[in-house]
Structure 1
Amino acid sequence: MGSILVLGANSTIAQATVRKLTDKGKHFILTSRDPSQLEDLKNDINIRSQVDVQVREFDALDFAGHKAFFDDVVGSVDVLDGVLLMYGAMDDQKLAEHDFAVARNMIDVNYTSAVSMLNIAANYFEQRGAGFICAVSSVAGDRGRKSNYIYGSTKAGLSVYLQGLRNRLHRAGVHVITIKPGMVDTKMTYGLVEPGPLLADPVTVGRDIANGITARREVVYTPWFWLIIMGIIKLIPEKIFKRTDL
């Protein structure tokens, strides 16, 4: 039975996604900086779905330890079928403008660590000739907006990286999926995003991610209406766009 490695499984979106994917009979390796936070999820999956679940500690910023971590995961399962990269950091834009440590944290968490881990995973799946990589980017990466351009730039970099990785791995039979959520009601966005009709439920986003993996989609906007919203925003001429408050 194949297994799926979930990087950042303590996020509400990750947990909603995993619960949807348990119906497929996959086993899971759930990771977090604090594995104790995952015990409830592990027990719930074990009881409801009768699938094996491992819980492991993972530090996204421990770049030097990524290869040993991944090799240890591969050695602990029969087959690794996929990797879900679900973690991220979104800090206050104004703080990031004046404190590079804040900006660098978003860069390192959202982009540098993703490239480090996914390069390792890509080499494994390419050699195996099968598998999938799914990573959560953001609609914020579709266009630089003054309200969150530092965070958005990290997600833009991730989206382009995933696009190139998808092209590289296609002939090897490895599928790469880019997830682009809009605003989601999570711990990461608490206090940074105003409640409103565009604020999505993590369960909805998790369902869309799980369905996208099953259907082998390439890019998933979630909820679906963000594809239209961002399509319109990308069409606004720069001369006009720079005068907006977006």
Structure 2
Amino acid sequence: MKRIVIIGATSAIAHAAARLWAERGAALFLVGRNAARLEANAADLRVRGAASVMVHAMDATVDAAHATMLAAALAALGGIDVALIAHGTLPEQRECEADLARLRAEIETNGVSVCLLSQLFANHFAGQGGGTLAVIGSVAGDRGRQSNYAYGAAKGLVARFTEGLRNRVAKSGVQVLLVKPGFVDTPMTAEFEKKGLLWAQPEAVAAGILRAIEAKREVVYLPWFWRWIMLVIRHIPERIFKRLSL
């Protein structure tokens, strides 16, 4: 029986992953800001076959709450095999440009808090001699683009941080997986009216996350074709890239 902690458990991708784990009989510890939504999700997961489901309300941007959450998870589960960090927001780029306080808040939510929680779980897994840390980043972190560089910068921070973290804890038997989704049809992207072939459903991304964990992957683009799209974007010369509206 897998014992799994999910941070940002009310997000669409996280809940889709939790449903898959519940069907496999996992014990789940759900963390999020909205206690009522956590309880609703927990009820759904119990019906789907989870061995147990416990919830813990926490604002991930409050650093002092992290250690308390980890202690509660360990007490509830008796140990942790997998931690999925999936919280985040999708800021409006122009608002971040005009409001520096908003810019700071978005970078702290999507970048700094993710790194701090990653370090917390990696330290725990290294101490116990193994475990899996899966962190949801984004293809937006691969290159700064005018349309979303506030969000992209935060996800770029996560990418570099998890890369170094993986390098540090590898000898301790800890898997550090960075998940890089492209466009995903979730409530967070509801304002996007046109959703074409590049868009994925959260259930497909969640299934990809579980496959990547089982395969001991280190970085996974979901869907797979985003690896090649971003390879092209990363290699566009800067003098040309500056002229593009991306």
The TM tier, using the shorter chain, reads over 0.9
What amino acid maps onto 1:244 in structure 2?
L
Which runs of 5 or more structure 2 residues have no equivalent in the other structure?
A: none
Conserved? CA contact 1:45–1:51, under 8 Å: no
Q: Number of residue pairs matched?
A: 246
Residues 135-154 of structure 1: matches in 2 within 5 Å? Answer: 135-154=135-154
Question: Deviations along 1:173-206, whole A, 9 cap, x unmatched?
Answer: 0000000000111122221574222121111111
What amino acid maps onto 2:145 in structure 1?
R
Partner of 2:104: 104
Q: What's the offset of the Cα at 1:40?
A: 3.0
Which runs of 5 or more structure 1 residues have no equivalent in the other structure?
A: none
State the identity %.
39
Partner of 1:8: 8
Matches of 2:161 and 2:64 in 1, distance apart? Answer: 20
Matches of 1:113 and 1:194 in 2, distance apart? Answer: 31
Conserved? CA contact 1:29–1:54, under 8 Å: yes
Tell me, what secondary structure is at the counterpart of 1:31? strand
Tell me, what secondary structure is at the counterpart of 2:208? helix
What amino acid maps onto 2:123 in structure 1?
N
Conserved? CA contact 2:23–2:48, under 8 Å: no
Conserved? CA contact 1:7–1:84, under 8 Å: yes
Matches of 2:78 and 2:121 in 1, distance apart? Answer: 16
Structure 1 residues 23 and 47, CA gap change in structure 2 (3 angstroms) = closer
Deviating above 4 A after TM superposition, structure 1's stretches of 4 or more consecutive aligned residues are none
Conserved? CA contact 1:146–1:245, under 8 Å: yes
Matches of 1:95 and 1:5 in 2, distance apart? Answer: 33
Q: What's the offset of the Cα at 1:48?
A: 2.2
Matches of 2:6 and 2:89 in 1, distance apart? Answer: 16
Question: Deviations along 1:75-97, whole A, 9 cap, x unmatched?
Answer: 22222112100111111111101
Partner of 1:84: 84
Conserved? CA contact 1:92–1:192, under 8 Å: no
TM-score under structure 1 normalisation?
A: 0.95
Question: Deviations along 1:1-27, whole A, 9 cap, x unmatched?
Answer: 441100001011111111122344321
Aligned-residue RMSD, C-alpha? 1.4
